[in-house]
């Protein structure tokens, strides 16, 4: 073991530092499903700022210092215990908010969110301070409506931008603050699964809204 360390310590230290960096500071993640279309598509590799919300002990969810709380409109990555996997969704309700949905239209704290139609089922959702594109189906799903709920302290209501095709807080419930991994604001690269995994040039280093 000593001989191995002596011969390869530079290589070992490099990899340890790289893994620590990816665990606690910045990383990337695959997008395996279409639950965030049209913002994210299958094959996207998104960047994750793991210091957006907390400074954590590497390889854990233990926070050493809280930097900021998730904000409404953020595209956030979290490790869901309920779903038993890592998910990417948009923050819609923060602690204390009362949120409802009627025919895929949000009401937040009694205020109806404005929408502007685009094309082919896409529309702009004008969240306070954060406008983004979302997608709905011509035949809304059973998830298109829910009665008013108040987001508890330390919890968040998360929704996918592909509203009729997303297993989000309407399925898994509120997301605890402790499950958040980080925030994404960009696509690093994207591979087209339907075209021999060729890169999608138009999505390279694409900013997210």
Active site residue 35: yes
In angstroms, the CA 158 to CA 89 distance is 6
In angstroms, the CA 86 to CA 101 distance is 25
In angstroms, the CA 32 to CA 61 distance is 23
* CB 41 within 8 Å of CB 57: no
**Of these residues, 29, 47, 50, 89, which one is catalytic?**
89
**CA 59 vs CA 30, 31, 50, 77, 198: distances in Å:** 19, 21, 12, 15, 32
**Of these residues, 35, 47, 184, 190, which one is catalytic?**
35
Q: Which active-site residues does the annotation give? A: 35, 89
């Amino acid at each position: 073991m000593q001989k191995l360390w002596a011969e390869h310590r530079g290589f070992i230290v490099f990899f340890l530092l790289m893994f620590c960096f990816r665990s606690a500071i910045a990383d990337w993640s695959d997008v395996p499903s279409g639950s965030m279309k049209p913002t994210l598509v299958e094959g996207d590799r998104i960047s994750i700022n793991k210091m957006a919300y907390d400074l954590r002990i590497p390889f854990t969810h233990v926070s050493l210092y809280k930097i900021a709380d998730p904000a409404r409109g953020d595209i956030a990555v979290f490790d869901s215990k309920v779903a038993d996997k890592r998910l990417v969704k948009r923050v819609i309700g923060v602690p204390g908010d009362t949120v409802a949905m009627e025919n895929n239209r949000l009401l937040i704290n009694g205020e109806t969110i404005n929408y502007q139609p685009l094309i082919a089922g896409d529309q702009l959702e004008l969240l306070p301070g954060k406008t983004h594109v979302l997608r709905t189906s011509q035949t809304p799903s059973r998830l298109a409506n829910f009665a008013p709920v108040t987001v508890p302290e330390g919890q968040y209501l998360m929704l996918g931008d592909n509203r009729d095709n997303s297993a989000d807080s309407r399925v898994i419930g509120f997301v605890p603050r402790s499950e958040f991994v980080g925030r994404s604001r960009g696509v690093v690269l994207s591979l087209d699964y339907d075209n021999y995994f060729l890169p999608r040039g138009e999505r390279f280093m694409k900013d997210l809204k």
